[in-house]
Amino acid sequence: MTDRKVNVKPAEGKLGVLIPGLGAVATTFVAGVEAAKRQLGAPIGSLTQMGRIRLGKRTENRNPLIHEFVPLANLSDIVWGAWDLHGQNAYEVACRSRVLEQGLLDKIRKPLEAIEPMKAVFDPVFVKNLQGVHVKSGPTKMDLARQVMADIDAFVARTGVSRVVVLWCGSTETFTPVSDVHRTLAAFEAGLSESHPEIAPSMIYAYAALKKGIPYLNGAPNLTVDAPALLELSRANAAPIGGKDFKTGQTLMKTIIAPGLKARMLGVEGWFSTNILGNLDGKVLDDPGSFKTKEESKLSVLDTIFNGELYPQLYGEIHHKVRINYYPPRGDNKESWDNIDIVGWMGYPMQIKINFLCRDSILAAPVCLDLVLFTDLAQRCGWSGVQEWLSFYWKSPQTGPGLAPIHDLFQQQNKLENTLRYIMGETLITNLGLDYYMDEV
Amino acid sequence: MTDRKVNVKPAEGKLGVLIPGLGAVATTFVAGVEAAKRQLGAPIGSLTQMGRIRLGKRTENRNPLIHEFVPLANLSDIVWGAWDLHGQNAYEVACRSRVLEQGLLDKIRKPLEAIEPMKAVFDPVFVKNLQGVHVKSGPTKMDLARQVMADIDAFVARTGVSRVVVLWCGSTETFTPVSDVHRTLAAFEAGLSESHPEIAPSMIYAYAALKKGIPYLNGAPNLTVDAPALLELSRANAAPIGGKDFKTGQTLMKTIIAPGLKARMLGVEGWFSTNILGNLDGKVLDDPGSFKTKEESKLSVLDTIFNGELYPQLYGEIHHKVRINYYPPRGDNKESWDNIDIVGWMGYPMQIKINFLCRDSILAAPVCLDLVLFTDLAQRCGWSGVQEWLSFYWKSPQTGPGLAPIHDLFQQQNKLENTLRYIMGETLITNLGLDYYMDEV
Amino acid sequence: MTDRKVNVKPAEGKLGVLIPGLGAVATTFVAGVEAAKRQLGAPIGSLTQMGRIRLGKRTENRNPLIHEFVPLANLSDIVWGAWDLHGQNAYEVACRSRVLEQGLLDKIRKPLEAIEPMKAVFDPVFVKNLQGVHVKSGPTKMDLARQVMADIDAFVARTGVSRVVVLWCGSTETFTPVSDVHRTLAAFEAGLSESHPEIAPSMIYAYAALKKGIPYLNGAPNLTVDAPALLELSRANAAPIGGKDFKTGQTLMKTIIAPGLKARMLGVEGWFSTNILGNLDGKVLDDPGSFKTKEESKLSVLDTIFNGELYPQLYGEIHHKVRINYYPPRGDNKESWDNIDIVGWMGYPMQIKINFLCRDSILAAPVCLDLVLFTDLAQRCGWSGVQEWLSFYWKSPQTGPGLAPIHDLFQQQNKLENTLRYIMGETLITNLGLDYYMDEV
Amino acid sequence: MTDRKVNVKPAEGKLGVLIPGLGAVATTFVAGVEAAKRQLGAPIGSLTQMGRIRLGKRTENRNPLIHEFVPLANLSDIVWGAWDLHGQNAYEVACRSRVLEQGLLDKIRKPLEAIEPMKAVFDPVFVKNLQGVHVKSGPTKMDLARQVMADIDAFVARTGVSRVVVLWCGSTETFTPVSDVHRTLAAFEAGLSESHPEIAPSMIYAYAALKKGIPYLNGAPNLTVDAPALLELSRANAAPIGGKDFKTGQTLMKTIIAPGLKARMLGVEGWFSTNILGNLDGKVLDDPGSFKTKEESKLSVLDTIFNGELYPQLYGEIHHKVRINYYPPRGDNKESWDNIDIVGWMGYPMQIKINFLCRDSILAAPVCLDLVLFTDLAQRCGWSGVQEWLSFYWKSPQTGPGLAPIHDLFQQQNKLENTLRYIMGETLITNLGLDYYMDEV
């Protein structure tokens, strides 16, 4: 064990979680935490709640629960708030979403009903398929940002929370490339004041949060805190940021299987991925335009893991296709079918087919919880800006300038766990272990 | 970069590879290497031939080929020898096995025909479904061991190789529990002299090899160098050992996917695995007795990875079934179908189905090659006994006393790569990387 | 339209349905009918309730509902009775079986609770895995048969039904080959009097029913009304019989797909079928002995459809394997995976894989209903003995002496529909239809 | 047996088969027939070559081979000719197509090389992705038609064939709706003379053939002999026609499975079909425009079989999606994945997934052969116009006016077989079979 290098502030007081976008994912997250607090269900899928971490040598048998090892906020200290353009409370939304059983929802009806969303910042230009009925209005985008900051202040005053994390669970916004208005904080603030058309609602939330020194997490694939202006604000105000796009379903499976094939140096000629899903998300993505944005994010995963430039013979030309199909009979569930054409010794072809019958919100909810708790920890560690050690949770992880993202789930896991060990002054795990066999090592 | 800690002898001279069991796997291995030497095919699946290793920081972009980073034997320095009970040469066996295309085999007919097997040590008690026609005879098992040693001496004399590795590619022998005769070298040698019934042919080969200080690798699931007597001999004579059971096909997939589910703390209720295969291996394993041995080895993988004792709520009761079915239409190919019942947030069930159309010998051949080359490297590093750093290649990796095996492919990969870095004095990779973002780390 | 050839008695009065074996299948059947009577659910899968039949030329557009075309009993005229060895009422059993939703069961709790089973005829020799607590006792098997007849008389007296059908929904009994005691009615009755060990409980029920002129249907694969003695009794007492083994799940799919491959003269090299199921049925069939009986029945389907004797080149050597695996996570559902190796033009191989996530009782219930109603119709047509026209519903259809069974679902459907047309004096459909194109036909 | 009603002319002399479009399907057909003639391979998948037909009662055991029952042309009497825009001979095309093994092709190289295509009628407006280098030119489309007729005359004169069938194996042409120029023969001929833009190359071939009283078969989904003008010509010149689109692969499976689900009255909520294929066909259909045409044809199959108008509760709203994806690693093979969401008793959902690894040309070749031989038979029966009895072979079968097509493979099979029985004066099969059980029937 080495000396403690990080001075972590304790998790004193309540932790506010403020969510723009109170839909299926958000309410499954909130309802699950409320159920777990009452022992009505287990927060399965959450590393912070269920996971253990190996410390020291294998022979020491030290495997504490993560939430007993690092100082995380307790579930019982979480206080909820949200913005949403429909105006329904969390109970109504959860019932409508048909993810969790009605029986369970009814047992936690009260705390869910108490979550009445604040009016949303909304702009139909950025999400074509939705209509806002519970939205803010104001003369400029800067004015809207100030309204959001006022919401946050009121929330803090009302609830007495000592810390806040903002977590975007809203819809995917239209693709917006980085332009001048996003490049510096000064340009961005000028843009807010003149209601620049390339400033999306999500950026207004992010600005408001970071301006107040509050961490911001982006669960969707649109541009937000990866805009340089907001990264600058994040570092200036000591607020960690995270993004983007929760890693669930088919992409999760890809970042599990692709590293396995790569580890064994099996070649890949093609990877065909199709998805059928019947919820609103499916309907939105059935549109070729919206799909394009999602596709970009999904396609890059394999390129980065396989690295065809370094391995032209094995991965130089992968035919990677991703299809998303709106298919109402699947309802809120989601199903993927992948066909992988691999190549072995002397070029012999083999095939792997994977059929995953999954549930999107069920996979996303524990990711929300872990991100909130770990990001709060990061802030108490004194860290700001990009938190690459949380790449584990993102479909398209943000990195520092000049650093290629790591998509391999197992390198991400190693990074996350060694970061926790580092924070607590424990020896990093290298899996070397020659000392079990030799004296000299 | 730290100082070099390991003094590796150079790979001078030829490397003899001696194989008990010249069947489909062995000839696919041999023929593939001969083809690769002539640029007739690529040794895909082989880390030593195709793989690269990251060194230093990500920003350094140092990713040398492994065979340029560590001093491995060249393919052109390999010289082949074999023992087999059928007496056919490698060309005849390869043609009969129908794994590689006839067109390719014909181009390397000459070197394959030159591999005429020596007479095998064979005992029908240990493999019920085979008949030996090209076998040694002698008054005692010790006498057979001496014949094998004489074979090795003659091979060395004839070929002038400077080093040898012995690699078992024979059939699975009957299950043999460790008993007194296996516990010490003294007892074992006494047992050889009196032809003790619990000494299997594979142990006779292993004894002969280790007695001469030659590494021995066990590609099958039967007891050999995991017997304490042979481990003792291995350490005494500075010869590394390795085993057991090449990791290919369905088990490879399991050790890829199970760590992924575990990383994300997704629960597992059941894992049903069925296999159809049409070759001799399938016929042998269709017998409930032989299958039992294989099943034991296959079942333990999930238990170790998921560790239900530490995670009773997630992995406490996994219904894990493995079935192997002899199905002649599949021929030499192999197909697996897995159904995995997983559990997420609040206990919601999801399903994953995996259909793998694979080729057994094609997946095993590069494993043979890497094991031979890395084990030769280990010996030149001055290492003996168990080589846990090569767990990556084994279905049931041998470990030191009191150490649970690591089955997770990615921990195995990390261990292997960090061992190579350690040998060459490079910094071990921990994936921490906080220094990209902070000055103080 | 031709002249009516069959004089069908009207379906006057109530129809009693008496069920030996009140388990998951029986209660799903009964509860579904009760729900359908109250418009709480649709009897999907039932030809008699949902199906239509084409009459005359295609251009006539005559497609009446079957239950409006032939004089069937109405659902509202069905009255239930049962025998069972556990003694629980139908509501208790249905809740325990977890097939239908609790919410639905609660809406029909009253009629289900009213079905209190009579004491069963039970003999542990014939079903090893069950224990009887609610069973009849008597000095001889003939005495037990008389008790069953008395039960029937009491049921008729109590309910005032005008007709009765007996439907076996009990467990599969041990394999019993036909022997002398089953060959004539005289031998069988002597056997009953002396409690012959080869007379199974199911035969006692069948004897009692047929003795009273009541039709008997056998939903399991064991020997019952296919015993010559009982066939003799059936004809003597003008009571139709039917069997055996409800056609559901994987076998249903086989009798759909195999005729399609055969129609197109595609060769078949192998058909590998595996099943995972987690209910009691799965547990029983996990035993190699019980499985053998089921396997025999399942294997014959392909042989009959493909007829390898007539088509040796295409179907002469089909590797057909059927596996059933007890896998608790699947619960009351059932899942099958089939791999079919087919052969086309010039011998080129192709593969079909089918994964069926089905529900056994849900598929069996409508089969029960149709069999009861059509068998009652048959009796009112004056027909007795084997009803081959109902082969459509049986995994192993009983036929007249010297007649090979028809397994092809579409020939079975054609036979059933043409029989209904025949009964009502409508032209049989041959699909010729040349008259649409030519005058002379 | 009834009296013979059809006077069939004998199959005397040679039969010419003229093929517009000498690609993968055509050469697989031709090469396979040439191989079968030399006993080098079996024409598996061909009813005319491998099939038998049941005659009379089941107990008669009369099951002659179809080609011994009806007077079909012998394979040895077939003489080949073709038109193609590339100009390569059949051997060159077959090698390039990589469907049949090179070893087989080399054994029949001579007869394949002898098939030198004539110059094609080609118009890039109708097939955007191809370029013609071996094409006819002329002042008007009527002139091109006359050139085709001259080609036919020259072929007949050169080979001495007594009869000819023309079989379109070319690419799918752009969607062309029926317009005035297609409605009468007079309008069509006027259109030819003025080179009307809505007359496609395939129509020019069809006109030329029918004008000479030669049957024409359309293996693609474009409009040809289903144009009223050509139907009129067909009847006037006593030449049968057939179309359209060979039924293979996924649609074949649909017309097998859908009738099975319908037979059992299982509801269908959705049917999702995706295809991956890597040949030219896949590239063409990857274009949304071309796909639209194909999709129309593929979607109608389920609507017709399930008939949601008659069965609104079961099939009123089927979410049917068909996707075709160009995926080069699949090469000339083709793979489909279907997910079917079905509904049973009381509305309970079940799922069927089908993965078909097929080969397009291998499935199409026997369809070509049977269509040619049966259409020649039809002409010798004195039949002209639509041959609905051959619906069995078409994805989108042509019917007489006012008649809905039959897509159910088993009704198609019944129609085909009963037509053959009718031709030969055998009793039609109704599957009634009550006479096995009762005297009076």
CB contacts of A429 in chain B (<8 Å) are 430
Of all residues in chain C, the one with the smallest CA distance to B269 is C329
The full 3-state SS of B406-440, as one line of letters, equals CCCHHHHHHHHHHHHHHHCCCCCCCCCCHHHCCCC
B253/A260 CB distance under 8 A = yes
In CATH terms, C15-246+362-423 corresponds, of 3.40.50.1820, 3.40.50.720, 3.90.1150.10, 3.40.50.2300, to: 3.40.50.720
Residue type for position B256: I
D243 or C93, greater pLDDT: C93
D274/A323 CB distance under 8 A = yes
Do the bridges between strand D118-119 and strand D163-168 make them parallel or antiparallel, or are there none, so unpaired? unpaired
Of all residues in chain B, the one with the smallest CA distance to C318 is B329
Residue to substitute from A69, A348, A403, A424, interface B, most B β-carbons within 10 A: A348
pLDDT digits (tens, 9 = 90+) for A319-333: 999 988 889 888 778
Pick left, alpha or beta for residue D105 (phi over 0 → left; psi -120 to 50 → alpha; otherwise beta). Answer: alpha
CB A252 within 8 A of CB A358: no
A437/B354 CB distance under 8 A = no
pLDDT digits (tens, 9 = 90+) for C159-202: 999 999 999 999 888 888 899 999 999 999 999 999 999 999 99
Asked if B415 reaches chain C (Cβ–Cβ under 8 Å), the answer is no
B410/A410 CB distance under 8 A = yes
CB contacts of B335 in chain C (<8 Å) are 339
Residue to substitute from B337, B343, B353, B357, interface C, most C β-carbons within 10 A: B337
SS3 A71: coil
Is the pLDDT at B140 greater than 70? The verdict is yes
How large is the average pLDDT for residues B96-118? 95
Chain position carrying tokens 């394993």:
B285
> Which residues are bridge partners to A275 per DSSP?
A324, A336
Closest of B67, B78, B73, B89 to residue B32, by C-alpha: B78
Burial C236-256 (b: 16+ CB within 10 A, else e): eeebbbbbbbbbbbbbbbbbb
Burial D407-431 (b: 16+ CB within 10 A, else e): bbbbbbbbbbbbbbbbbbebebbbb
CB C249 within 8 A of CB C201: no
pLDDT of residue B1: 42
B274/C270 CB distance under 8 A = no
Cα distance between residue C420 and residue B37, in whole Å: 74
Is the pLDDT at C54 greater than 80? The verdict is yes
Segment (H or E) for D82 = strand D78-84
Of all residues in chain C, the one with the smallest CA distance to D42 is C346
Asked if A329 reaches chain D (Cβ–Cβ under 8 Å), the answer is yes
Q: Which residues of chain A have pLDDT under 70?
A: 1-4, 284, 286-290, 439-441
Burial A149-169 (b: 16+ CB within 10 A, else e): bebbeebbeeeebebbbbbbb
Give the neighbours of chain A: at least 3 Cβ pairs within 8 Å: B, D
Q: Which of D327, D335, D353 sits opposite A319 (nearest CB)?
A: D327
C321/B325 CB distance under 8 A = yes
CB contacts of B359 in chain A (<8 Å) are 344, 348, 350
CB contacts of C402 in chain D (<8 Å) are 59
Q: Tell me phi and psi for residue C289, to 5 degrees.
A: -65, -55
Q: How far apart are the first and last CA of chain C?
A: 17
Closest of B247, B307, B283 to residue B129, by C-alpha: B283
How many CB pairs lie under 8 A apart between chains B and C? 49
A429 to chain B nearest CA, in Å?
7
C403 to chain D nearest CA, in Å?
7
**Domain at A249-359: CATH code:** 3.30.360.10
* DSSP letters spanning A213-237: T--EEE-SSSSSTTSHHHHHHHHHT
A341/D329 CB distance under 8 A = yes
pLDDT of residue D401: 84
pLDDT of residue B174: 85
Q: Tell me phi and psi for residue A217, to 5 degrees.
A: -120, 135
A335/D339 CB distance under 8 A = yes
D353/A353 CB distance under 8 A = no
CB contacts of D264 in chain C (<8 Å) are 45, 47, 252, 366, 409
Of all residues in chain B, the one with the smallest CA distance to C272 is B327
B58/A344 CB distance under 8 A = no
Residue to substitute from C304, C305, C342, C348, interface D, most D β-carbons within 10 A: C348
Asked if A327 reaches chain B (Cβ–Cβ under 8 Å), the answer is no
CB B68 within 8 A of CB B6: no
CB contacts of C353 in chain B (<8 Å) are 355
CB contacts of D336 in chain A (<8 Å) are none
C-beta atoms surrounding C295 within 10 Å: 17
Give the neighbours of chain D: at least 3 Cβ pairs within 8 Å: A, C
CB C229 within 8 A of CB C182: yes
How large is the average pLDDT for residues C402-406? 90
Degrees, nearest 5: CA angle D262-D267-D273? 85
Distances (CA, A) of A338 to A283, B276, B358, D354: 21, 21, 16, 14
Q: Which of C269, C276, C337 sits opposite B329 (nearest CB)?
A: C269
Q: What is the pLDDT along chain D (441 residues), one digit of tens a residue?
A: 445 678 999 999 999 999 999 999 999 999 999 999 999 999 999 999 999 999 999 989 999 999 999 999 999 999 999 999 999 999 999 999 989 999 999 999 999 999 999 999 999 888 877 788 899 999 999 999 999 999 999 999 999 999 999 999 998 888 888 999 999 999 999 999 999 999 999 999 999 999 999 999 999 999 999 999 999 999 999 999 998 999 998 899 999 999 999 999 999 999 999 999 887 677 766 666 667 777 777 778 899 999 999 999 999 999 999 988 889 888 778 899 999 999 999 999 999 999 999 999 999 999 999 999 999 999 999 999 999 999 999 999 999 988 989 999 999 999 999 999 999 999 999 999 888 888 655
Asked if D65 reaches chain C (Cβ–Cβ under 8 Å), the answer is no
Is the pLDDT at C288 greater than 70? The verdict is no
Do the bridges between strand B267-277 and strand B333-344 make them parallel or antiparallel, or are there none, so unpaired? antiparallel
pLDDT of residue B289: 61
Is the pLDDT at C287 greater than 80? The verdict is no
SS3 D224: coil
A354/B354 CB distance under 8 A = yes
B146 to chain A nearest CA, in Å?
31
Sheet harboring C240-243: ordered strands across? C118-119, C78-84, C15-20, C163-168, C216-218, C240-243, C385-386
Pick left, alpha or beta for residue A378 (phi over 0 → left; psi -120 to 50 → alpha; otherwise beta). Answer: alpha
pLDDT digits (tens, 9 = 90+) for A92-144: 999 999 899 999 999 999 999 999 999 999 998 888 777 888 999 999 999 99
A329/D269 CB distance under 8 A = yes
pLDDT of residue B440: 56
pLDDT of residue A130: 78
Asked if D350 reaches chain C (Cβ–Cβ under 8 Å), the answer is yes
CB A363 within 8 A of CB B344: yes
pLDDT digits (tens, 9 = 90+) for B334-391: 899 999 999 999 999 999 999 999 999 999 999 999 999 999 999 999 999 999 999 9
Sheet harboring A240-243: ordered strands across? A78-83, A15-20, A163-168, A216-218, A240-243, A385-386
CB B23 within 8 A of CB B169: yes
SS3 C357: strand
Sheet harboring A348-359: ordered strands across? A319-326, A267-277, A333-344, A348-359, B348-359, B333-344, B267-277, B319-326
CB A398 within 8 A of CB A371: no
Asked if D388 reaches chain C (Cβ–Cβ under 8 Å), the answer is yes
Cα distance between residue A275 and residue A338, in whole Å: 9
- Biggest CA–CA distance in chain A, Å, is 73
Percent of chain C with pLDDT over 90: 80
Cα distance between residue B138 and residue A100, in whole Å: 72
> Which residues are bridge partners to D16 per DSSP?
D79, D164
pLDDT of residue C3: 59
How many CB pairs lie under 8 A apart between chains A and D? 51
Q: Find out whether the peptide bond into D244 is cis, omega within 30 degrees of 0.
A: yes
Domain D250-359 has CATH 3.20.20.70: no
Closest of A354, A266, A272, A335 to residue A305, by C-alpha: A266
pLDDT of residue D128: 78
pLDDT digits (tens, 9 = 90+) for B151-193: 999 999 999 999 999 999 998 888 888 999 999 999 999 999 9
Q: Which of A347, A418, A436 sits opposite B432 (nearest CB)?
A: A418
pLDDT of residue C90: 98
B231 or C434, greater pLDDT: B231
Is the pLDDT at C92 greater than 90? The verdict is yes
Closest of A121, A70, A264 to residue B369, by C-alpha: A264
Model pTM score: 0.92
Q: Which of C50, C265, C418 sits opposite D51 (nearest CB)?
A: C265
pLDDT of residue A1: 42
pLDDT of residue A66: 97
Cα distance between residue A212 and residue A81, in whole Å: 16
B221 to chain A nearest CA, in Å?
21
- What single-letter DSSP state applies at residue A170? S
Which residues of A, range 154-213, sit inside 8 Å of B by Cβ? Answer: none
Residue to substitute from C283, C295, C319, interface B, most B β-carbons within 10 A: C319
pLDDT digits (tens, 9 = 90+) for C336-384: 999 999 999 999 999 999 999 999 999 999 999 999 999 999 999 999 9
pLDDT of residue C184: 97
CB B318 within 8 A of CB B271: yes
CB contacts of C354 in chain D (<8 Å) are 352-355
Q: For the purposes of burial, counting CB atoms within 10 Å of the CB of D225, is it exposed (0-12), middle (13-18) or buried (19 or more)?
A: buried
A102 to chain B nearest CA, in Å?
13
Q: Which residues have CB under 8 Å from B313's CB, separation 6+?
A: A42, A44, A50, B267
Q: Find out whether the peptide bond into C244 is cis, omega within 30 degrees of 0.
A: yes
Give CA A124 to chain center in angstroms.
24
Which residues of D, range 278-317, sit inside 8 Å of C by Cβ? Answer: 310-311, 313-314
CB D325 within 8 A of CB A321: yes
Residue spans of the domains in chain B: they are 15-246+362-423, 249-359
CB contacts of C323 in chain B (<8 Å) are 274, 323, 325
